[in-house]
Amino acid sequence: MAASKKIKTEIAKLRASLDDHSYRYHVLDDPQITDAAYDRLMRELEALEADHPDLVTPQSPTQRVGAKPDGPFDEVRHEVPMLSLSNAFDEEGVADFDRRVRETLEIENVQYAVEPKLDGLALSLLYVDGVLERGATRGDGVTGEDVTLNARTIRSVPLQLRGKDFPSVLEVRGEVFISRAGFAALNEGQRKLDEKLYVNPRNAAAGSLRQIDPAETAKRPLEIFCYATGRVEGGKLPDSHAATLKAFQKWGLRVCPESTTAKGVKGLMKAYASLGDRRDDLPYEIDGIVYKVDSRRRQENLGTISRAPRWALAHKFPAQEESTRIESIEVQVGRTGAITPVARLDPVFVGGVTVSNATLHNRDEIERLDVRVGDTVVIRRAGDVIPEVVSVVKADRKKGARKFKFPAKCPVCKSPVEFPVNEKDEASVVGYCTGGVTCEAQRKEGIKHFASRRAMDIEGLGDKIVEQLVDGEHIKTAADLYILDLETLSGLDRMAEKSARNVLKAIDKSRDTTFGRFLFSLGIRNVGETTAETIASQLGTVEAFKAVTAEVLEAMPDVGPVVAASVLSFVGSKPNVKMIDELVKRGVTWPDVGMLDADVEKTLDGKTFVLTGTLTGMSRDDAKKALVARGAKVTGSVSKKTDFVVVGADPGSKATKAEDLGVAILDQAALEALIES
């Protein structure tokens, strides 16, 4: 039955009314009706659309939640890369940023747009003729995931822009987050269901946006603040960032109400102090403040360094501290046998995360702090750094609290704990289990390291799977991974047959590696990626590695007595040598190092490189291998002795340090040209 003109008009009025009320609620923060009244209007519209399904449109407020897709998210390539930001942690870093901007622009004072740095997940929203066409995650900045169906469920994401003066193609970038109140309500719901609590708002937001079923995403209290543009066609944006945010708001896009402008370093620091003072009172988590050159024309003049803009800076807040009580002190055994004491805490929310564990580092640190079970302690967490105990509130200590006694035996395998002595006859502050591969804890951690991305890169072989395999005695060493079968893997908890097949494929794929990766994957104490590459390039074969001597090792660049002793200890262990032989026997292979280097000129001999960020179409391992083959040295930290810093996407602080030290910076194109030349 065709709908009458009256029905069509009524549906149009309801949609317009709902859109307007949603705009007032989410964008203007000025609701005109109650939630109950809004729900009544929505039910009226749903009833009319149910009777007249031919009138339903994708932009209707009733159509936020779509059907579950058939499979995982599709890849989306960002036509305009989603840039990361350089960081500053103090006023000196901000002053350096402002100085570089002024010197490049050749002006004396700069106006900046200033806005909070939200602790959430970046999202790209593409509008074509005002209609939301696609939502995509940032990913690595160049390639993200298509989460359109999930983005549509976020109430503060308009399905259709307001007005008519927006560009015909407008890509908007924003931050998806969960407010403090939303996070508390979300975890309260988890408690009632006796489900696992979410650790922090950021992780909850990221996980919510990547739910396969949009109906699940719709249940999560996701919000968004829009703060940037990407692709823009068929129209012009305002001349400044601040004016663009006002245009966003007019078009129905939500922006952060704390956004403002400031001039010069004094203005920036005043804004930083003001926001820092109000940080705990804001309804959402922030971890800093972002400064952007306000003028779009000047942004273009400044350009970018690799994939980080020269015209923007993230000024991070200092580490946050909270006090809580130590419930117990336990020790953990790492892959190298290192015994690390860990404080189990009465859970406390600090630095945007609920913390229940904190490292005590080593025996000497426990003695220095004089920390005891039952003590009230101050916990510090900054960014993604592991929480640590800063101090003990001794005034709150209960009588009779006993000092912690560091174990003389490994808590897992009961082997003796030793404190190695260095060449200066000084005992290490770190104790080590002497059990080696006979220690189940070391086996687990060693296999986890072996499978990790920087080592053999066995995708899908997570910690829980490794623990089940070891606990069930399905594997004893990393070599046993290569004789696993489908029946064993699919029989593990929460392991479907499809997932098991994918893990087996990843294990098989990992057989093709490089000698340097192979040596690093063995988890030898004191042998990191760079040292492993050095040893691989110097020795060339696994037979030479097994027979290496201290003299040969110590003659290598950056290999001293401590590293040499660790390598000799490893190859002097019969179980370790047996594992290496089994890995080779079971198909782990790599190109011959000698053959690899034979035809390559040492054009970069004596040059020192540092790699930071993500490269496109080339792993950092590939880049490192190509540089080393040409005689270069690749290290992990920037210093005055560094010749070049290669900067990819999301580079972090190394790029900033290179700028400060005047070290030459190469983007990926320059790196590739250097390698080819």
pLDDT tier, 515 (very low <50, low <70, confident <90, very high otherwise):
very high
Is the pLDDT at 602 greater than 90? The verdict is: no
Judge if 391 and 476 occupy the same domain: no
Judge if 569 and 647 occupy the same domain: no
Judge if 294 and 346 occupy the same domain: no
Q: Are strands 312-316 and 87-88 parallel, antiparallel or unpaired?
A: parallel
Judge if 662 and 608 occupy the same domain: yes
Torsion, Cα of 241, 243, 247, 252 (10° steps): 70
pLDDT at position 599, please? 58
3-state secondary structure string across 455-510? CCCCCCCCHHHHHHHHHCCCCCCHHHHHHCCHHHHHCCCCCCHHHHHHHHHHHHHC
Residues of the chain above pLDDT 90, percent:
46
Q: Tell me: the pLDDT tens digits for 337-385? A: 889 999 999 998 886 678 899 989 888 888 889 999 999 999 887 555 6
Q: Tell me: the pLDDT tens digits for 298-323? A: 999 998 876 679 999 999 887 677 89
Containing H/E element for 175?
strand 169-178
Q: Is residue 92 part of a domain?
A: yes
Q: Is residue 370 part of a domain?
A: yes
653 versus 578: the higher-pLDDT residue is 578
Instruction: Answer yes or no: are the C-beta atoms of 135 and 125 closer than 8 Å.
Output: yes
Which of these is catalytic: 5, 8, 13, 117? Answer: 117
Q: Tell me: the pLDDT tens digits for 619-646? A: 777 788 788 778 788 877 788 888 999 9
What's phi and psi for 574, nearest 5 deg?
-60, -40
Judge if 521 and 569 occupy the same domain: yes
Judge if 250 and 364 occupy the same domain: no
Q: Which segment of 130-134, 198-202, 320-324 scores lowest on mean pLDDT?
A: 198-202
Q: Is residue 638 part of a domain?
A: yes
- For 273, residues 6+ apart whose C-beta sits below 8 A from its C-beta are none
For residue 219, give the DSSP letter: T
Residue 23's domain comprises 5-63
CA 513 distance to own-chain centroid: 25
Using DSSP, state whether 525 is helix, strand or coil.
Answer: coil
Residues of the chain above pLDDT 70, percent:
93
Judge if 257 and 333 occupy the same domain: no
pLDDT tier, 269 (very low <50, low <70, confident <90, very high otherwise):
very high
Tell me the residue length of the chain: 677
Judge if 162 and 237 occupy the same domain: yes
Give the type of residue at 578.
Answer: K
Is the pLDDT at 596 greater than 50? The verdict is: no
Judge if 276 and 333 occupy the same domain: no
**The whole model's pTM is what?**
0.55
Q: Is residue 448 part of a domain?
A: yes
The CATH number of the domain where 566 resides is what? 1.10.150.20
Using DSSP, state whether 395 is helix, strand or coil.
Answer: helix
CA 158 distance to own-chain centroid: 28
Measured from the Cβ of residue 412, the count of other Cβ atoms closer than 10 Å reads 18
pLDDT at position 329, please? 94
Q: Which segment of 96-100, 142-146, 453-457, 627-631 scores lowest on mean pLDDT?
A: 627-631
Using DSSP, state whether 226 is helix, strand or coil.
Answer: strand
Give ∠ CA 530-536-542 in degrees, rounded to 5: 140
Nearest-angstrom CA–CA distance, 308 and 303: 9
pLDDT at position 271, please? 96
- Mean pLDDT, all residues of the chain: 86
Q: Please indicate whether residue 117 is annotated as part of the active site.
A: yes
The CATH number of the domain where 382 resides is what? 2.40.50.140
Torsion, Cα of 494, 497, 502, 507 (10° steps): 80
The CATH number of the domain where 45 resides is what? 1.10.287.610
* Cα-trace Rg, the chain: 29
Q: Is residue 416 part of a domain?
A: no
Average of per-residue pLDDT across 140-160: 90
The CATH number of the domain where 215 resides is what? 3.30.470.30
Please report how the helices 463-471 and 440-451 are oriented relative to each other, as an axis angle in degrees rounded to 10: 140
How many domains, the chain? Answer: 5
Is the torsion defined by CA of 145, 146, 150, 155 positive or negative? positive
Judge if 230 and 116 occupy the same domain: yes
